[in-house]
């Protein structure tokens, strides 16, 4: 493997000549190449993109959530996690978890608060995910399901407090009824804090059952109820992704047969959703469910690409280590497969069916009578290729193809870029003529440079490819400039091969600082801050400068220049020509660019450069803007000489002369 420099930049590197064209030599490429892959890993959903501010709102956390090991959970883990019992002003009482006559059978646990006559108040306190961030002047929507179990009298008080107990906002709920009822209140914050907490207090003697205790900021992304954290959702929207794959990843095929991701558990009123263990070792409320995913895709103009289990669990289930094919993979029993296949078909009806169809009506009831225009469906996630998998995949694939020929199924070629599962996965794809196959690879930056031509000699008669998960893993798995530049170089190769590469998405997308299962990630976040990695800017630049026709580029230099990558695409919606130049050398490279072969230009262009002298630099907590793209308007002719900085991605967007 080639050595990639980690030295600071020195003078000039090998110069090169780049020729684009000739005219009429372009080929059509996927207009949807750059998208995102969202998985609930590293608290990406609860405590992340899902805007709910309280933790364990429905008392469903369970010790078994941690079965897969969790180095980053929030302390003790059970139905009481996140909650503290408080007695104030001499108040006395009790707090326990019960399950009889719950709000919904899918949501069996709830809290029972006992208040003994004392004059003071008792209640519950929740500090969210490491403290609730509260913004002065903003409105917060509180809700709770409650019922009075004895002595039906007295209201409940909701307080938002700072960590020192000072009041940030308050609301009083009316006298409770003996049967479950949802109570709501809005609270306007009088001051800001990062360490807020919510208290629910009662002072009238009696016993009260409480469940689904919830607090949302009124300002969610697009102000949607049960919505998404605005800054994080915006960071994703700013990538202008052409598609979004969800909800996983390994989350989809799950840690054992009882942990397959069942989309039907994720729709409908949140109190009726069946929350479950997350394969990444914590709990998923599924408040962010299929409706919310589809809605988000629509809001950001991304084509939805949901992935359903291929009827098998993850090969690494129960701690079984893959090496080459873990033994944890189990299949849905054959007699249950027809029911499972029907669930998959129902998902398509949920997304696209008429508002009066069985499943389309559930989408309409959630507030979206129009279809979500689902075009793609992923079946399986990087499976171990066994007869158990193949049999089930084939059944699902053929049923979808028959019932919904308009849906393009995306299959899988296993967890790695080569090896036994990869070969067998492609054999299955060839045999069944699966339209698109999902490939995954996490490798060193060098690997990406060495594989710029991976798809050049790819057989165009075969399935199209979705590079569904990839990332350059540099030392200590940090998001270095070197990793981002390697990904940029690789993306020029994917663009060049955009006639067969339908989609590509970096992975993982989101990670909460201090609670990460996996590094590196595209966007880190904390309570109120978002930290896009340098790699994020690469994704964004490629997405914002994508095209639909690619042109041949010849790059030559006196010596071999293995750390230079170039692509040229045009965008038919604007007529602009876009040239991307990636210099992976630790020195400036003088490049003579010749584009006269592909037509006339107005002479006006935007030049955007992402570069740095230190290949190991990262945008992190202390310095989140160290490396940012710099854009400028320039005038250039159809031949020009460019000094490409060390470790750089440069994009020239040449304006259509009109
Ligand atoms: O992206 C993180 C994980 O990597 C995904 O869940 C899985 O598909 C892959 O192994």
> Which residue, of 510, 544, 578, is where some domain finishes?
544
Helix (H) or strand (E) holding 115: strand 110-116
- Does residue 177 lie in a domain region? yes
Whether residues 404 and 376 fall in one domain? yes
Neighbours of 9 (CB within 10 A): 20
Categorize the per-residue pLDDT at 4 as very low, low, confident or very high, splitting at 50, 70 and 90: very low
User: Residue 382 catalytic?
Assistant: yes
Report whether residue 248 contacts ligand 1, using a CB cutoff of 6 Å.
yes
Whether residues 136 and 266 fall in one domain? no
- Does residue 537 lie in a domain region? yes
Whether residues 536 and 615 fall in one domain? no
- Does residue 56 lie in a domain region? no
pTM of the model: 0.96
Whether residues 498 and 352 fall in one domain? yes
Categorize the per-residue pLDDT at 95 as very low, low, confident or very high, splitting at 50, 70 and 90: very high
**Which residue range forms the structural domain that includes residue 264?**
36-51+221-544
Least confident of 19-33, 215-229, 482-496, 612-626: 612-626
Q: How far apart are CA 49 and CA 43, in angstroms?
A: 8
Looking at ligand 1, which atom is closest to the CA of residue 508? 1
Average pLDDT over residues 348-358: 98
Does 655 score more than 50 pLDDT? Answer: yes
What confidence score (pLDDT) does residue 326 get?
65
Whether residues 318 and 276 fall in one domain? yes
Q: How far apart are CA 502 and CA 164, in angstroms?
A: 54
- Does residue 178 lie in a domain region? yes
Closest CA to 396 of 410, 382, 384: 410
Looking at ligand 1, which atom is closest to the CA of residue 37? 1
CATH number at residue 295: 3.20.20.80
Report the relative pairing of strands 193-202 and 156-161 from DSSP bridges: antiparallel
- Over residues 547-570, the pLDDT tens digits come to 999 999 988 776 667 899 999 999
Q: Each residue of 431-456: b (16+ CB within 10 Å) or e?
A: ebebbbbbbbbbbbbbbbbbbbebbe
Q: Which residues pair with 564 in a beta bridge?
A: 583
Mean pLDDT of the chain: 93
451-457, long-range: CB within 8 Å, 24+ apart, which pairs? 451/417, 451/490, 451/493, 452/489, 452/490, 452/492, 452/493, 452/565, 453/493, 454/417, 454/493, 455/493, 455/494, 455/497, 455/500, 455/501, 456/493, 456/496, 456/497
Whether residues 464 and 480 fall in one domain? yes
Report whether residue 85 contacts ligand 1, using a CB cutoff of 6 Å.
no
- Over residues 432-473, the pLDDT tens digits come to 999 999 999 999 999 999 999 999 999 999 999 999 999 999
Report whether residue 483 contacts ligand 1, using a CB cutoff of 6 Å.
no
Report whether residue 39 contacts ligand 1, using a CB cutoff of 6 Å.
yes
In sequence order, which ranges of 268-377 are alpha helices (DSSP H)?
Answer: 290-300, 337-352, 360-365
What confidence score (pLDDT) does residue 69 get?
55
CA of 549 to the centre of ligand 1 (A): 31
What confidence score (pLDDT) does residue 5 get?
44
Whether residues 194 and 277 fall in one domain? no
Report whether residue 518 contacts ligand 1, using a CB cutoff of 6 Å.
yes
Average pLDDT over residues 400-405: 98
> Which residue, of 153, 187, 217, is where some domain finishes?
217
CA of 47 to the centre of ligand 1 (A): 19
Kindly name the residue from 382, 383, 439, 487 that is annotated as catalytic. 382
CA of 285 to the centre of ligand 1 (A): 20
> Which residue, of 191, 217, 243, is where some domain finishes?
217
Categorize the per-residue pLDDT at 319 as very low, low, confident or very high, splitting at 50, 70 and 90: confident
Q: How far apart are CA 507 and CA 297, in angstroms?
A: 18
CA of 415 to the centre of ligand 1 (A): 8
């Amino acid at each position: 493997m080639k050595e990639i420099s980690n030295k600071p930049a020195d003078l000039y590197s090998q110069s090169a000549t780049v020729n684009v064209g000739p005219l009429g030599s372009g080929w059509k490429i996927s207009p949807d190449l750059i998208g995102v892959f969202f998985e609930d890993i590293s608290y990406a959903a609860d405590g992340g993109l899902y805007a709910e501010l309280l933790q364990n709102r429905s008392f469903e956390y369970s010790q078994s959530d941690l079965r897969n090991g969790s180095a980053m959970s929030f302390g003790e883990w059970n139905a009481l996690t996140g909650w503290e019992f408080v007695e104030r002003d001499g108040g006395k009482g009790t707090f326990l978890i019960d399950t009889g006559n719950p709000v919904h059978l899918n949501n069996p646990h709830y809290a029972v608060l006992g208040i003994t006559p004392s004059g003071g108040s008792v209640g519950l306190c929740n500090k969210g995910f490491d403290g609730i961030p509260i913004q002065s002047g903003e409105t917060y929507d509180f809700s709770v399901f409650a019922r009075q179990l004895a002595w039906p009298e007295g209201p409940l008080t909701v307080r938002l407090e700072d960590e020192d107990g000072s009041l940030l906002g308050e609301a009083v709920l009316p006298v409770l009824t003996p049967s479950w009822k949802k109570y709501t209140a809005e609270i306007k914050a009088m001051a800001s804090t990062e360490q807020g907490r919510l208290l629910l207090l009662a002072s009238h003697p009696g016993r009260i059952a409480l469940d689904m205790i919830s607090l949302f900021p009124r300002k969610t992304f697009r102000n949607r109820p049960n919505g998404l954290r605005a800054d994080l959702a915006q960071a994703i929207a700013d990538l202008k992704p052409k598609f979004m794959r969800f909800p996983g990843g390994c989350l989809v095929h799950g840690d054992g047969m009882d942990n397959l991701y069942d989309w039907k558990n994720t729709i409908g009123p949140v109190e009726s959703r069946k929350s479950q263990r997350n394969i990444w070792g914590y709990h998923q409320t599924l408040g962010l469910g299929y409706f919310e995913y589809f809605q988000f895709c629509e809001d950001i103009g991304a084509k939805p690409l949901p992935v359903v289990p291929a009827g098998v669990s993850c090969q690494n289930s129960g701690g079984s280590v893959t090496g080459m094919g873990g033994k944890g993979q189990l299949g849905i029993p054959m007699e249950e497969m027809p029911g499972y296949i029907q669930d998959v078909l129902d998902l398509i009806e949920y997304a696209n069916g008429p508002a009066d169809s069985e499943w389309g009506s559930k989408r309409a009831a959630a507030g979206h009578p129009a279809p979500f225009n689902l075009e793609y469906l992923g079946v399986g996630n990087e499976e171990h290729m066994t007869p158990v998998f193949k049999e089930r995949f084939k059944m699902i694939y053929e049923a979808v193809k028959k019932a919904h020929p308009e849906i393009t199924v995306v299959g899988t070629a296993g967890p790695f870029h080569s090896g036994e599962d990869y070969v067998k996965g492609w054999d299955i794809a060839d045999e069944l003529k699966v339209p698109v196959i999902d490939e995954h690879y996490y490798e060193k930056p060098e690997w990406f440079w060495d594989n710029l031509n991976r798809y050049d000699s790819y057989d165009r008669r075969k399935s199209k490819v979705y590079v569904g998960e990839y990332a350059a893993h540099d030392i200590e798995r940090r998001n270095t400039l070197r990793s981002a530049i390697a990904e940029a170089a690789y993306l020029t190769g994917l663009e060049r091969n955009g006639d067969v590469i339908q989609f590509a998405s970096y992975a993982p997308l989101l990670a909460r600082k201090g609670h990460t299962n996996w590094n590196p990630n595209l966007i880190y976040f904390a309570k109120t801050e978002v930290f896009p990695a340098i790699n994020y800017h690469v994704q964004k630049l490629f997405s914002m400068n994508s095209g639909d026709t690619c042109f041949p580029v010849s790059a030559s230099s006196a010596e071999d220049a293995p750390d230079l990558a170039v692509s040229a695409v045009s965008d038919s919606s604007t007529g602009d020509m876009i040239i991307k130049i990636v210099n992976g050398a630790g020195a400036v490279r003088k490049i003579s660019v010749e584009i006269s072969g592909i037509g006339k230009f107005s002479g006006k262009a935007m030049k955007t450069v992402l570069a740095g002298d230190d290949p190991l630099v990262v945008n992190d907590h202390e310095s989140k803007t160290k490396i940012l793209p710099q854009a400028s308007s320039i005038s250039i002719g159809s031949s020009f000489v460019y000094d490409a900085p060390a470790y750089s991605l440069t994009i020239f967007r040449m304006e259509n002369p009109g």
